[in-house]
Amino acid sequence: MNYQEALHYIDETHKFGVRLGLDNITKLLELLGNPQDKLNIIHVAGTNGKGSTCSFITSILKESGYKVGLYTSPFLETFTERIKVNGENIPKEDVARIVNIIKENIETMVSEGYSYPTEFEIVTAMALYYYCEQEVDYVALEVGLGGRYDATNIIKKSEVSVIASISLDHVGILGDSVSKIAYEKGGIIKENGVAIVYDQSDEAKDVIKEICREKNAKYIEVKFDDINVKQSDIYSQTYDCTVFNEKYENLEIKLIGDHQINNSMLALGAINYLKENKKLNISEESIRKGLINTKWPGRIEKIMENPIFIIDGAHNEDGAKSLAKSIEKNFNGKKATLLIGMLEDKDIDGVLEILMPHFDKVITTTPDNPRAISCEVLKEKISKYIDNIVAKPNIEEAVDYTLKNSKEDDIIISAGSLYMIGTVRTLINKLYL
């Protein structure tokens, strides 16, 4: 298979859906030589912020001279974004080569009576195999869904388990309460391991603490009560903070929103632990460079000026609250235009209730995903909040309409689905910049 054929092969496995459990990935990786056992892994779970946290961690380690793998999902614009080494996407020829190897081993395991692996299991196996080949020093491994039965939890040990912000999402799979979801996320914590935990609701923290007690794991919480934000706009943020009694002044990040300051501090918690307990050589200069150089596209990201065009993957209540807070903070209550498309299995009503007070015009569209809600149905849901709504089924047409009906000093925000905003980002860069 060449690259395109390999992608088609992976895409075909969507028909096997989401299947939580470790039997299949265990067998597949066993046939591949158990690459995960040869890697030093920083494992990151959470509802929101886990990708940003992984990016901060990898950027700091890279600036410290380490070779670092970063595994995230989903991708925004190109499949190869999901598997990086020192910020570089996996080459297409390596995708094709490794998928060919994996396909042969899948045929072996299926012949032995195992189920066909899911798309996420195949990509996870590919990433671990590639990182092993590349002989990386560390891997920041982002959990796909949940934690306990997620394919990434095939690892027997981790350098540290990092738990980002936990809130309601994927309730049909993970449970209908924060405590149930926290139980699934906390499943990545290892026996006698260490959990670096985001300062969040007591409901989530109590569950994580109990898991740590059961597994004789160390619970370390990153507190957010000593942050002094000195400057914050849609370009960057500068702040002072304290992480584990280590004081930092004038740290700067390019990621936007109060929650990204929190995510950077969670990453600093993991870095400080590794520095102190694993004797990593990490200077304050590397930390500062790593933070300011961290990029995480599609999360309150400004992709255009005049009009200001921001994309954000907000698709659950927690994400919507962060986006709404950033709108209030950066645009002084000025109303904006929303370009939105969502997936049917998300808390659409909850997201709309939080976001709609900040917009006076909405364009709905339909993401290119079998789980998408149609733009017309979404328009009907929004009509109880405002009257100025236009439905455009095609995303390219929706972007074109939005820009043609906006003035230079307008604010446009595209949100609701990572699957959609990746397409929006590609279109803006290709056709309008």
The two tokens of residue 222 are 């990153």
Domain chopping of the chain, boundaries:
3-292, 301-432
- Is the CB of residue 258 less than 8 Å from the CB of residue 325? yes
Give 304 or 172, the one with higher predicted confidence. 304
Q: CA-to-CA distance for 248 and 299, rounded, in angstroms?
A: 25
Beta strands in 254-304 (DSSP E): 301-304
pLDDT at 431: 87
Q: Identify the architecture of domain 301-432 in CATH.
A: Alpha-Beta Complex (3.90)
pLDDT at 396: 96
In tens, the pLDDT along 382-424 reads 999 999 999 999 999 999 999 999 999 999 999 998 889 999 9
Q: CA-to-CA distance for 224 and 31, rounded, in angstroms?
A: 44
- Is the CB of residue 99 less than 8 Å from the CB of residue 124? no
- Is the CB of residue 90 less than 8 Å from the CB of residue 84? yes
Q: pTM to 2 decimals?
A: 0.95
Q: Identify the architecture of domain 3-292 in CATH.
A: 3-Layer(aba) Sandwich (3.40)
Q: CA-to-CA distance for 151 and 15, rounded, in angstroms?
A: 17
The two tokens of residue 51 are 């990708």
* Angle at the Cα of 288 from the Cα atoms of 287 and 294, rounded to 5 degrees: 85
- Is the CB of residue 251 less than 8 Å from the CB of residue 240? yes
- Is the CB of residue 416 less than 8 Å from the CB of residue 314? yes
Three-class secondary structure of residue 39 per DSSP: coil
Q: What is the mean pLDDT of residues 227-249?
A: 96
pLDDT at 17: 62
Identical fold for domains 3-292 and 301-432, yes or no, is: no
Q: CA-to-CA distance for 391 and 214, rounded, in angstroms?
A: 51
